[in-house]
């Protein structure tokens, strides 16, 4: 069973109907009550998602905050508060706790969220799970994009996967790659501005690779995509930009002809046009040739 199959299978157990707006196939669960409330959760397990050989406790805390913040960003939301569940294999050393909590709370507070508590348990292996909640006045979903919409990504891709390649070979990556992997920047401000501007038809963050996350946006919207340009981060391969994952960039669709309004709304920061959406539901092509939605899958 792949992760997608698993998630589809368990979706029958998710709540349906008001006040629940969305559960699965979104970056956050969406709950309508005095506006929209967003809920997301992500976990990192030692030996599966990271190794202490190249992760400091501070970086791990920051990254756990960032991957969750990125889910809120992908809905155009504002992060508010978080709860942490921590599994420790032994009585934790003070310096490790100190650094982990400092990274986590500095990551959260930089984007306006606070740590409210949680639970700590003994576990044969170290893992950390974060639950983050926030609000949105006008959430942007994966669903809603139209054929003809232009597709953008918020920064060049592949740097995080390139850093991992260096780390796994036991080598120290160049600083920019290292930063992309250890300290990804969630696009909270961009997501909020895009949501406020009302010019974006669908949005997702890139956690499992451009192709896989684009295919999710396409499936939710019932469209296909024609990619012409892929912005590849310096030091990364095109393959890493297409399928590497852990970029935490925003990927979104916007109707054509509003480019000026779009750039004004986001303060003229750079965006990277990838191509446009088509009527061919589920079909993604790159420079005229069909391409499969490969990407990181947590079970395979």
Which residues here bind its own copies, judged by CB under 8 A?
1, 3, 6-7, 9-10, 13-15, 20, 23-24, 26, 29, 31, 33-34, 39-45, 47-49, 80-81, 83-85, 87, 91-92, 94, 97, 101-102, 104-105, 114-125, 127, 129, 131, 133, 298-299
- Residue whose CB is less far from its own copies, 101 or 272: 101
- Report the b/e string of 81-110 with b at 16+ CB within 10 A: ebebebbbeeeeeeebeebbbebbbebbee
Q: Report the C-alpha gap between 97 and 100 in whole angstroms.
A: 5
Do the strands 114-122 and 78-88 form a parallel or antiparallel pair, or are they unpaired?
Answer: parallel
| Shortest separation between residue 23's beta carbon and its own copies, angstroms | 5
Pull the structure tokens for residue 144: 């809603």
- Residue whose CB is less far from its own copies, 108 or 249: 108
- Residue whose CB is less far from its own copies, 31 or 152: 31
| Shortest separation between residue 285's beta carbon and its own copies, angstroms | 31
| Shortest separation between residue 292's beta carbon and its own copies, angstroms | 22
| Shortest separation between residue 265's beta carbon and its own copies, angstroms | 27
- Residue whose CB is less far from its own copies, 118 or 144: 118
- Residue whose CB is less far from its own copies, 220 or 283: 220
| Shortest separation between residue 293's beta carbon and its own copies, angstroms | 19
- Residue whose CB is less far from its own copies, 102 or 294: 102
| Shortest separation between residue 83's beta carbon and its own copies, angstroms | 4
Q: Report the C-alpha gap between 76 and 84 in whole angstroms.
A: 23
- Residue whose CB is less far from its own copies, 116 or 281: 116
Residue 284's Cβ-side half-sphere holds a number of Cα atoms within 13 Å equal to 19
| Shortest separation between residue 223's beta carbon and its own copies, angstroms | 24
């Amino acid at each position: 069973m792949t992760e997608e199959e698993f998630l589809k299978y368990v979706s029958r157990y998710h709540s349906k109907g008001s006040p629940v707006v969305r559960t699965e196939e979104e970056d956050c669960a969406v709950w309508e009550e005095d506006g929209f409330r967003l809920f997301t959760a992500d976990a990192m397990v030692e030996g599966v998602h990271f190794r202490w050989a190249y992760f400091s406790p501070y970086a791990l805390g920051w990254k756990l905050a960032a991957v969750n913040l990125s889910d809120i960003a992908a809905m155009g939301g504002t992060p508010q508060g978080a709860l942490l569940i921590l599994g420790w294999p032994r009585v934790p050393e003070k310096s490790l706790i100190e650094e982990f909590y400092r990274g986590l709370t500095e990551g959260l507070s930089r984007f306006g969220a606070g740590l409210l508590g949680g639970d700590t348990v003994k576990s044969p292996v170290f893992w950390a799970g974060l639950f983050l909640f926030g609000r949105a006045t006008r959430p942007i979903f994966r669903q809603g994009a139209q054929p003809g919409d232009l597709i953008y990504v918020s920064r060049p891709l592949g740097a995080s996967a390139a850093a991992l390649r260096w780390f796994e070979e036991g080598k120290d990556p160049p600083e920019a790659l290292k930063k992309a992997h250890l300290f990804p920047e969630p696009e909270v401000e961009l997501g909020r501005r895009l949501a406020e501007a009302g010019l974006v038809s669908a949005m997702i963050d890139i956690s499992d690779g451009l192709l896989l996350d684009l295919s999710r946006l396409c499936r939710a919207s019932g469209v296909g995509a024609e990619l012409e340009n892929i912005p590849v981060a310096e030091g990364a391969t095109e393959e890493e930009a297409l399928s590497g994952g852990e970029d935490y960039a925003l990927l979104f669709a916007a109707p054509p002809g509003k480019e000026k309004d779009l750039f004004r709304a986001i303060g003229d920061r750079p965006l990277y046009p990838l191509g446009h959406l088509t009527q061919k539901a589920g079909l993604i092509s790159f420079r005229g040739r069909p391409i499969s939605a490969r990407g990181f899958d947590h079970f395979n």
